[in-house]
Amino acid sequence: MSKILFIINPVAGGGKAKGLIPLIKEIMDKHEKDYEIKLTTRPKEAINIAEDSVENYEITVAVGGDGTVNEVAKGLINIGKGTLGIVPGGTGNDMAKSLGISTEPVKALETLCRGLKKDIDIGCVNDSNFLNIASVGFDAEVVINNQSIKTVIKSGISYAVSVIYTLLSFKKKKVKITIDDNIMEEKIILLAVGNGKYYGGGMKILPMAKVDDEYLDICIVSNINKLKLLFLFPTIFKGNHIKYKKYVKMYKGKTIKVETRDKIYINIDGEIAPEMKEIVFSMEDKKLNVLCEEK
Ligand SMILES: Nc1ncnc2c1ncn2[C@@H]1O[C@H](COP(=O)(O)OP(=O)(O)OP(=O)(O)O)[C@@H](O)[C@H]1O
């Protein structure tokens, strides 16, 4: 029988992940699973726990939000072994959504017990890996602005305030984009590249993306004024922005290069990387094995 390790981030979702411990025990005992639970004590510790666990546990489950999933995945990718499971317990659970894993903990735990696995693609952006989405432009600045805004506004409204603030202060970025052999010059609002569909807490920015198709999906938003952007923004939640072809262009590719003289930041699975002038998105040769809802 596969041994399962649950790595729980006790602060994820404001304590929601930690509150799932009784449910995890109940469902694992019901299915007579051989499992263990470990709690992280500090940021990034999940990477080391995952690295150390692969020899003894076939399945390592991240219980938390996207930050916890990324850390556990990083540990497994570093060692090149093991299977990742996810029980969503964070405020943002975009990776789970991109994999079709339910954000309802009972369903997510049943998915684990069913044991369906698939190998998913691993994205690469300069020297970093990403599983879900890496992006430049508007949304990266929203994340940066939200870091200071949320110190003043401590509720969920801080993100909406940050979107409006960024909309007012944002300057379009002049970039040269090369998607495989296709070169274009654009003044972009944003460019998102990914394996998964969802980011930013449930926005379906790449509706056609498949985590295992060995292609990166690309969304470029350009040629749009701020007022129209304000109306376009809510359509991203359901993936309807792709209908507005004058402003939103969708591509698939293997290698995407972005060059600019402007100041741009990258949002890599929700973490902001320092400013860069040249960004190359590509696909790793290796894959990550995950427990999922369907093959
Ligand atoms: N014991 C701990 N104490 C404090 N921080 C921790 C601990 N364990 C993990 N972390 C950090 O908590 C952060 C948030 O985790 P995660 O994204 O899973 O939760 P979240 O509630 O969805 O967060 P967010 O509000 O950022 O979306 C991660 O950056 C992780 O490194």
The per-residue pLDDT for 275 is 82
* Ligand 1 atom, smallest distance to 67 CA: 17
Return d(Cα 131, Cα 237) in angstroms, integer: 20
Tokens matching residue 59: 């399945």
User: Is the CB of 151 within 6 Å of ligand 1?
Assistant: no
Contacts of 270 by beta carbon, 8 Å cutoff, 6+ apart: 66, 67, 70, 92, 94, 143, 199
154 ligand 1 Cβ < 6 A:
no
Which pairs with CB-CB distance under 8 Å and at least 24 residues apart come from 101-105? Answer: 101/292, 101/293, 102/293, 105/20, 105/23
Residue 89, ligand 1, Cβ within 6 A: no
Kindly list the domain boundaries of the chain, sorted by start residue.
3-115, 128-284
Q: How far apart (Å, rounded) are the C-alpha atoms in residues 105 and 168?
A: 38
Q: Is any ligand 1 atom within 6 A of the Cβ of residue 90?
A: yes
How far, in Å, from the CA of 95 to the mean position of ligand 1? 15
Per-residue pLDDT band at 201 (split at 50, 70, 90)? confident
Q: What is the ipTM of this complex?
A: 0.96
Strands 59-64 and 3-8, by their bridges, are: parallel
- CATH architecture label of 128-284: Sandwich (2.60)
Residue 1's pLDDT band, with cuts at 50, 70 and 90, is low
Strand 198-199 with 203-204, pairing: antiparallel
Per-residue pLDDT reduced to its tens digit, 99-155? 989 999 999 999 999 989 999 999 999 989 999 999 999 989 998 998 899 888 877
Percent of the chain with pLDDT over 90: 78
What are the tens digits of pLDDT across the range 19-41?
999 999 999 999 999 999 999 99
Ligand 1, from 6, 7, 11: best to mutate by most atoms within 8 Å of Cβ? 11
Name the pLDDT band for 87 (thresholds 50, 70, 90).
very high
Per-chain mean pLDDT for the chain? 93
What is the reported pTM?
Answer: 0.91
Q: Is the pLDDT of residue 183 over 80?
A: yes
CA 151 – ligand 1 centroid, Å: 16
What was the pLDDT predicted at 224? 92
Q: Check pocket membership of 200 for ligand 1, CB cut-off 6 A.
A: no
Of all protein residues, the one whose alpha carbon is nearest to atom 29 of ligand 1 is 67
Q: Nearest Cα to 118, choosing from 100, 137, 130, 91?
A: 100
In CATH, which superfamily holds the domain spanning 3-115?
Probable inorganic polyphosphate/atp-NAD kinase; domain 1 (3.40.50.10330)
Q: Let me know: does 80 contact 171? Beta carbons within 8 Å.
A: no
Specify the range with the lowest mean pLDDT, choosing from 84-88, 152-156, 205-209, 220-224: 152-156
C-alpha 142 to ligand 1 mean position (Å): 19
For the segment 247-284, what is each residue's pLDDT rounded down to a tens digit?
Answer: 999 999 999 999 999 888 999 998 898 888 899 999 99
